C-alpha cells in the first residue's frame, strides 16, 4: 500500500502527520509512506519527520497562498498592490505550477490514498488527486475552516475535524469529530519528572519555568515582547524562548548573557513534549495543534492569538478555550503596544498556584488521546474503497 501525507506551513501541520503515520506504520508495516510540504518549511519538516522514520521521503511542492487579512477591508487590501495584490498574482501562478508538479508526481507514483493535514500546499495536491481519482482524506484542525479545506471538502472521501462538527459546514455523512492527532509523548508529567527535565534543560528547579513559543516559524511580536522583558522576567521565572530561525540571530544579540535563567532556541525538532511538559506556564499562539498538545499535557497556558490570519481562525480557537476559563488570553495588538503586559500576566499567574492548577485541569478536558488512531483508520478505509 502506498500512502501520501501532505501538510506544511508550521509544525502544527507536521507533528500531527507524524502521529498518524506512526499508527499507519503499526497497522500496515509494509506500507510505503511519503510526505510532501511547502518548500519554506522543508528543513523543519525533514527534521521532525526524520526523528520518526528516516526512510520516509519528504519532498517540496510548489504552492502559494491567497492573502486575505482579517483586520483589513477588501478595499484596503486592494490598495496595497505591493504587499497583497501582486504577491497573490504570483502565488496563483505557483499554485498552477504546483498542480502540474503534483499531477506528474502522483501519476508516476500513484498512491492508494492521500491524507492532507492542512496548509495551502494541500490545494494543488488535492486538486491533482481529484483529477486522477485518488481517494482523499482531509483533516481540519481549526474551529474556522480554511479556504483550502473548504475547496477540497467537495471531493473528499472522508473528513476528520479537530473541533465539534457544529463549527463546520461539511457533509455529516463523511465527517467525524476526532480531535487533533498528537504524538504519544504528550501526556501529563509528574512533578518529579518535571524537575528531572528542568535539570536536563539546564534550569534550576527552584524557579518556575516559562516556555514561550510562536510555532515552528516563530512569532515576531511575541519574540520582541519576550526579549524586551527578559531581564524583568528572569527575576521571578526561568524562560525558554523558542524564536523560530528567521529572527534568531537578531534576538541572540539582545538576549541576557551569563545567566542560566534564559535560554534562546531557534527550533526544537525533537523532545518538544519534554520542553512543554517541564514548563509551569506556556505562552503561545492559538494554533489548533499546539492547543491540543497542551491540553494533553494539562498545561497552564497564556494564549496570544494572531488576529491577522485569514478568517481570524486563531481568534476563534482562543475563544473556544477561553469560554470555560481554561486559558488566559493576551490581545496581540495590546502586547505589541505594551510589552510589560506579558510580565504582568505571568507574574500574576505564577503567584496564584490555585489558578494554574485550575487552568491545567480545564484545558485537559479538551484532550482527544485516540485522534491519531481514528484518523489512521479513516485513511485505511478510504484506501480500501478504491
Cell numbers representing residue 266 in the block: 531557534
For the stretch 43-66, pLDDT in tens is: 888 888 888 888 899 999 988 776
pLDDT at residue 39 greater than cutoff 70:
yes
Largest distance between two CA atoms of the chain? 60
3-state secondary structure 87-156: HHHHHHHHHHHHHHHHHHHHHHHCCCEEEEEECCCHHHHHHHHHHHCCCEEEEECCCCCCHHHHHHCCCC
What count of residues does the chain have?
386
Model confidence pLDDT, tens digit, residues 109-134? 999 999 999 888 999 999 999 999 99
State the cell numbers at 173. Answer: 455523512
Mind listing the domains of the chain with CATH numbers? 2-179+369-385 (3.40.50.2000), 191-364 (3.40.50.2000)
pLDDT at 65: 72
Instruction: Provide the pLDDT for residue 164.
Output: 83
Closest C-alpha among 350, 292, 276, 278 to residue 326 = 292
Note the pLDDT tens digit of each residue in 64-77. Answer: 776 555 555 554 55
> Whole-prediction pTM value?
0.73
Task: Residue 152: name the closest of 169, 132, 137 by CA.
Answer: 137
215 phi and psi angles, rounded to 5 deg = 100, 180
pLDDT of 84 above 70: no
Percent with pLDDT over 70 in the chain: 92
Q: Is 363's pLDDT higher than 90?
A: yes
Query: Cell 496563483 belongs to which residue?
Result: 92
Q: State the Cα–Cα distance between residues 223 and 227, nearest whole angstrom.
A: 6
Q: What is the pLDDT of residues 178-218, one digit of tens each?
A: 999 987 789 999 999 999 999 999 999 899 999 999 876 66
Reference 182, options 9, 7, 373; nearest CA is: 373
pLDDT confidence of residue 253: 93
Give the 3-state DSSP-derived string for 321-349, with helices as H, strands as E and coil as C. HHCCCCCEECCHHHHHHCCHHHHHHHHHH
Higher pLDDT: 269 or 353? It is 353
Q: Is the CB of residue 36 less than 8 Å from the CB of residue 120?
A: no
Amino acid at each position: 500500500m502506498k500512502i501520501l501525507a501532505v501538510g506544511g506551513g508550521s509544525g502544527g501541520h507536521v507533528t500531527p502527520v507524524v502521529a498518524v503515520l506512526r499508527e499507519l506504520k503499526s497497522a500496515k508495516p509494509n506500507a510505503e509512506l511519503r510526505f510532501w510540504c511547502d518548500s519554506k518549511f522543508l528543513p523543519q519538516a525533514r527534521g521532525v519527520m526524520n526523528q520518526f522514520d528516516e526512510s520516509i521521503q519528504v519532498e517540496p511542492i510548489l504552492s502559494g497562498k491567497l492573502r486575505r487579512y482579517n483586520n483589513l477591508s477588501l478595499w484596503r487590501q486592494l490598495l496595497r498592490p505591493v504587499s497583497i495584490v501582486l504577491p497573490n498574482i504570483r502565488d496563483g501562478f505557483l499554485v498552477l505550477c504546483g498542480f502540474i508538479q503534483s499531477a506528474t508526481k502522483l501519476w508516476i507514483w500513484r498512491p492508494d490514498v492521500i491524507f492532507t493535514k492542512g496548509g495551502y500546499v494541500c490545494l494543488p495536491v488535492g486538486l491533482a488527486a481529484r483529477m486522477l481519482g485518488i481517494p482523499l482524506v482531509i483533516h481540519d484542525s481549526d474551529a474556522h475552516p480554511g479556504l483550502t479545506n473548504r475547496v477540497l471538502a467537495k471531493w473528499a472521501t472522508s473528513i476528520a475535524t479537530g473541533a465539534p462538527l457544529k463549527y463546520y459546514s461539511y457533509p455529516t455523512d463523511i465527517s467525524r469529530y476526532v480531535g487533533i492527532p498528537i504524538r504519544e509523548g504528550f501526556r501529563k508529567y509528574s512533578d518529579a519528572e518535571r524537575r528531572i527535565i528542568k535539570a536536563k534543560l539546564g534550569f534550576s528547579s527552584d524557579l518556575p519555568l516559562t516556555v514561550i513559543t510562536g510555532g515552528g516559524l516563530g512569532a515576531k511580536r511575541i519574540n520582541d515582547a519576550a526579549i524586551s522583558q527578559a531581564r524583568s522576567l528572569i527575576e521571578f521565572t526561568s524562560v525558554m524562548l523558542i524564536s523560530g530561525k528567521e529572527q534568531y540571530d537578531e534576538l541572540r544579540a539582545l538576549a541576557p548573557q551569563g545567566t542560566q535563567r534564559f535560554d534562546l532556541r531557534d527550533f526544537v525538532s525533537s523532545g518538544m513534549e519534554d520542553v512543554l511538559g517541564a514548563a509551569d506556564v506556556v505562552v503561545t499562539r492559538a494554533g489548533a495543534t499546539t492547543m491540543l498538545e497542551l491540553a494533553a499535557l494539562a498545561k497552564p497556558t497564556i494564549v496570544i492569538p494572531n488576529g491577522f490570519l485569514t478568517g481570524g481562525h486563531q481568534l476563534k480557537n482562543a475563544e473556544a478555550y477561553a469560554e470555560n476559563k481554561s486559558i488566559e488570553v493576551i490581545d496581540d495588538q495590546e502586547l505589541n503596544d505594551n510589552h510589560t503586559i506579558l510580565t504582568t500576566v505571568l507574574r500574576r499567574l505564577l503567584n496564584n498556584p490555585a489558578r494554574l492548577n485550575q487552568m491545567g485541569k480545564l484545558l485537559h478536558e479538551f484532550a482527544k488521546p485516540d485522534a491519531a488512531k481514528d484518523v489512521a483508520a479513516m485513511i485505511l478505509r478510504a484506501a480500501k474503497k478504491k
